[in-house]
Structure 1
Amino acid sequence: MRPPVEVCVFLLSLLAPGVLYTLNNVPALQEPLPILGIGMVVLGSLLLLLLFIVRHKTTLDPLFYVFAEFSFTCLVGLTNALEQDGFISNFMGFYLKKGEPHLSTAYAVMMSYWEGVVHFVLFLTMIRRMFTRKSYRSLGLLWAGSSIAHQLVHVPGVVIGKYGSSLRPAFWRNVPFFLVPFWAAFLLFSRPRETPIVTADKIASEQKKSLLSRPVDLLLSLLLLGAAAFSAFRGFVVLDCPLDTCFTYIYQYEPYLKDPVGFPRVMMLAYLFYALPLLAVMLCGLNTPGCSWMLDWTLFFAGAMAQAQWCHIGASLHSRTPFTYRVPADKWWPVIGLNVLLAAAPALLALRCHARPAYFMKPVPKGEANHKKKKN
């Protein structure tokens, strides 16, 4: 009897710390080009093992290979985070010296924790649902948003930050990890959405309600407006806005925004140019009946903001961030509170859309809805 595929992927992923430990103790392999080459060989060997595991499957979702390969790298990231925080040792020293030294920063440590726990659990869950013929589209959109947000900050942050002048060959392994999530997101968005059967009467009743008669939506609208204002403000701050308010905020409230590693600056610009327009569009969708795209994009956006804010909040408090760039102790509650709300607003919006989707669904003729209900 074959073990479940997700168990096989889990066991293969557990090889990552062993591979790192071995490489860390073989000096001949600890040069920039060999590190890149060995990384490619390891991922290629993993792909061959995966092909062997699923050889009996006649048809297979191409995203399986993405999830399985990324599961392995998740454990690489978790190993890095645990070593940087002093829980383990003698695994990542060679890679930080000759591969990607930026992985020792506070932002990269928090990013590695997110990958090693949240993404890893999502991958195993999606693989299980894939092989039990259950839909994993919603979980996939959460992961796609999270992964794209990670890459949009990680790669440009390395290039423009203080580590940009010392890029090693191993850095270029990030290119496929940057591109693949966009391809995966395209596949997931193009697949049919699973929506509950709701009668035409129910849809019409929900869509006739004004914003004042929908107190939850009114509160969410205010949260989205606040998140948009906060995103715009911090974008202006990192662009060196000369207003006294911006100067006071970056020096007295959130000095992490001027950390020379580059990640916080790129993140605030991503909020200004990507998150801000999405917040505005979703605010319109929350107040316009029949915007069925909200059911997908709120999940994608919630995943992106959760990942980004986890890394940002954690890095601004982490001991690997120089003391002068950490959030001051007397400003801890307002700064962290605002950042938590920025992450919570998209998550609450996604929860609202999926808990009561009738407002966002296209009107269905009553007879057709009843027919579908009886059929199911």
Structure 2
Amino acid sequence: MSLWIVFVVILTSLTSLPTAYYLNKTDAMKDQRLVFGAGTLSLLGATVLPALFMRRFFRNIDPVIYACACFSWSSVIDLFIGLELDGYVSGYMGFYFLEGEPYLKTAYGTMINYWDGTAHLALYLAIITLYCTGESYREVGLYWVGSIMNSMIVFLPGNVAGKFGIKWSYLLNVPYMIIPLVAGFKFIKERPLFVRSYLRIPSLLERPVDLLFAVFFTLCSIVAVFRGMAVLGAKSDIMHTYLSDVEPYLNDPNVYPKMQMLVYLYYYLFYYLTAIYGLTCPAQSWMADMALIHAGAAAQAQFVHITASLHHRTAECYHAAMEGSSGAIFWGVNLALLIGPHLFAWRCMRRPNLFGETYTVNTAEPVTADSHRKKD
């Protein structure tokens, strides 16, 4: 039964292709207000068929599942936006680049669509599958929240501050900011309640793996401050050398890379410091949740940042260094920021005695479909 529901979601999502093809041939799509209206109606329509099918088997369906079904439809659209921008397909989304969201024609816009059309689509289908099989999708949901929130917190301000201006279709992105934010609070609220273990936990110096993670987050903090100050125009020879030789993409007139560095400075830095605190004073119940959110955010941030800095839509003078010591620094820094958070999230899940999940004394209603399944 669960596979049928996933199949219906996939089938509904594929209707985005003929819809986009038809709209691309319609003269009315030369009006940005009609583009916005068509996008709104399409997203609403994409929710109806999966919702009707799921309600045959479940009652009181989690609204997050409806959102995942709707977002799956737009993920397929985003995948084809990326493919059309790179010239692999044509005739689907040309109208949208003109009267919808012209800033998607940047390297950042292209790669953010690839990520949404692959990684986010896979996460949506995983969440729906877990829900329909009665299993918890909370951890997958937290990872998705981190990924899409980083996407939106860079993308939305970057669109406004960039050189393209905004049109009515900019508002189509608002649900992708609000719904994941609400879902994130919901997932955190549904965290099981735990009691702290009073057994002695070795100090950080006696836990070499955790000590390495503390050092890693300290270095991440230094990198966040360094790159943040660099894009803000700090007068420093070493920062100037870094911007010119290692990551010239940070100078791109499309402000997305600058926005990402500011997110690292003002948001990620706070997480790094709290993670160091959690490693020093273990048994903090929030550590595993925050590690999953941060891993999702880091995956989206680093995938888009690395690929956009090498993309053909980025002017060659802004391409990242690929060889020599500058190339080694570029790949070392950015791959560490991609891989490290995932290793830490994995450790948090594997060592619950260190991160607050010691003895379950009470649990919120599990995030599954069992309690909502209709009786025969």
* TM-score when normalising by structure 2: 0.90
Alignment length (residue pairs): 359
Q: CA deviation at 1:194?
A: 9.0
- Residue 104 of structure 2 corresponds to residue 103 of structure 1: yes
Between 81-90 and 254-263, the greater mean CA deviation after superposition: 81-90
Between 135-144 and 74-83, the greater mean CA deviation after superposition: 74-83
Q: CA deviation at 1:329?
A: 3.5
Alpha-carbon distance between aligned partners in 1 of 2:55 and 2:287, rounded to the nearest angstrom: 38
Alpha-carbon distance between aligned partners in 1 of 2:254 and 2:124, rounded to the nearest angstrom: 29
Equivalent in the alignment of 1:357 = 352
- Select 1:278's aligned residue among 262, 268, 271: 271
Alpha-carbon distance between aligned partners in 2 of 1:363 and 1:22, rounded to the nearest angstrom: 55
Equivalent in the alignment of 2:372 = none
Give the percent of matched residue pairs that are identical in Structure 1 and Structure 2. 37
Question: What do the CA deviations read for 1:211-264 (whole angstroms, capped 9, x no partner)?
Answer: 232111111111111111101100000110001111111112111111111101
Equivalent in the alignment of 2:289 = 296
- Residue 340 of structure 2 corresponds to residue 341 of structure 1: no
| Unaligned ranges ≥5, structure 2 | 362-376
Alpha-carbon distance between aligned partners in 1 of 2:63 and 2:2, rounded to the nearest angstrom: 21
- Residue 27 of structure 2 corresponds to residue 32 of structure 1: no
Equivalent in the alignment of 1:48 = 48
Alpha-carbon distance between aligned partners in 2 of 1:253 and 1:2, rounded to the nearest angstrom: 48
Matches within 5 A, 1:171-210: 171-193=170-192, 207-210=200-203
Alpha-carbon distance between aligned partners in 1 of 2:119 and 2:212, rounded to the nearest angstrom: 28
Alpha-carbon distance between aligned partners in 2 of 1:295 and 1:61, rounded to the nearest angstrom: 23
Q: CA contact under 8 A between 1:237 and 1:246: conserved in structure 2?
A: yes
Between 273-282 and 38-47, the greater mean CA deviation after superposition: 38-47
Equivalent in the alignment of 2:17 = 17
Equivalent in the alignment of 1:5 = 5
Q: CA contact under 8 A between 2:43 and 2:74: conserved in structure 1?
A: no
Alpha-carbon distance between aligned partners in 1 of 2:53 and 2:114, rounded to the nearest angstrom: 28
| Unaligned ranges ≥5, structure 1 | 369-376
2:163 match: secondary structure:
coil
Q: Which has the higher contact order (CA 8 A, sep 6+)?
A: 2
Q: CA contact under 8 A between 2:108 and 2:305: conserved in structure 1?
A: yes
Q: CA deviation at 1:361?
A: 2.4
Q: CA contact under 8 A between 1:157 and 1:262: conserved in structure 2?
A: yes
- Select 1:310's aligned residue among 297, 303, 323: 303
Q: 1:129 to 1:241 in 2, by over 3 A?
A: same
Alpha-carbon distance between aligned partners in 1 of 2:109 and 2:2, rounded to the nearest angstrom: 37
Q: CA contact under 8 A between 2:243 and 2:251: conserved in structure 1?
A: yes
Alpha-carbon distance between aligned partners in 1 of 2:283 and 2:263, rounded to the nearest angstrom: 29
Alpha-carbon distance between aligned partners in 2 of 1:38 and 1:287, rounded to the nearest angstrom: 52
Q: CA deviation at 1:154?
A: 0.4
More helix by share: 1
Alpha-carbon distance between aligned partners in 1 of 2:3 and 2:280, rounded to the nearest angstrom: 48
Q: 1:194 to 1:348 in 2, by over 3 A?
A: farther
Q: CA contact under 8 A between 1:126 and 1:140: conserved in structure 2?
A: yes
- Select 2:224's aligned residue among 228, 231, 237: 231
Alpha-carbon distance between aligned partners in 2 of 1:362 and 1:159, rounded to the nearest angstrom: 42
Q: 1:170 to 1:364 in 2, by over 3 A?
A: closer
Q: CA RMSD in A?
A: 2.1
Alpha-carbon distance between aligned partners in 2 of 1:303 and 1:356, rounded to the nearest angstrom: 19
Q: 1:315 to 1:3 in 2, by over 3 A?
A: closer
1:4 match: secondary structure:
helix
Q: CA contact under 8 A between 1:23 and 1:30: conserved in structure 2?
A: no
2:281 match: secondary structure:
coil
1:181 match: secondary structure:
helix
Alpha-carbon distance between aligned partners in 2 of 1:329 and 1:271, rounded to the nearest angstrom: 23
Alpha-carbon distance between aligned partners in 1 of 2:272 and 2:16, rounded to the nearest angstrom: 38
- Residue 246 of structure 2 corresponds to residue 261 of structure 1: no
Q: CA deviation at 1:66?
A: 0.8
Equivalent in the alignment of 2:364 = none
Q: CA deviation at 1:133?
A: 1.1
2:8 match: secondary structure:
helix
Q: CA contact under 8 A between 1:315 and 1:321: conserved in structure 2?
A: yes
Equivalent in the alignment of 1:372 = none
| Structure 2 letter corresponding to 1:34 | L
Q: CA contact under 8 A between 1:231 and 1:271: conserved in structure 2?
A: yes
Q: CA deviation at 1:204?
A: 5.6
Q: CA contact under 8 A between 1:24 and 1:30: conserved in structure 2?
A: no
Alpha-carbon distance between aligned partners in 2 of 1:249 and 1:70, rounded to the nearest angstrom: 38
Alpha-carbon distance between aligned partners in 1 of 2:359 and 2:133, rounded to the nearest angstrom: 31
Between 344-353 and 144-153, the greater mean CA deviation after superposition: 344-353
Alpha-carbon distance between aligned partners in 1 of 2:359 and 2:117, rounded to the nearest angstrom: 43
Question: What do the CA deviations read for 1:12-40 (whole angstroms, capped 9, x no partner)?
Answer: 11111221111112223332111111111
Between 238-247 and 209-218, the greater mean CA deviation after superposition: 209-218
* TM-score when normalising by structure 1: 0.90
Equivalent in the alignment of 2:365 = none
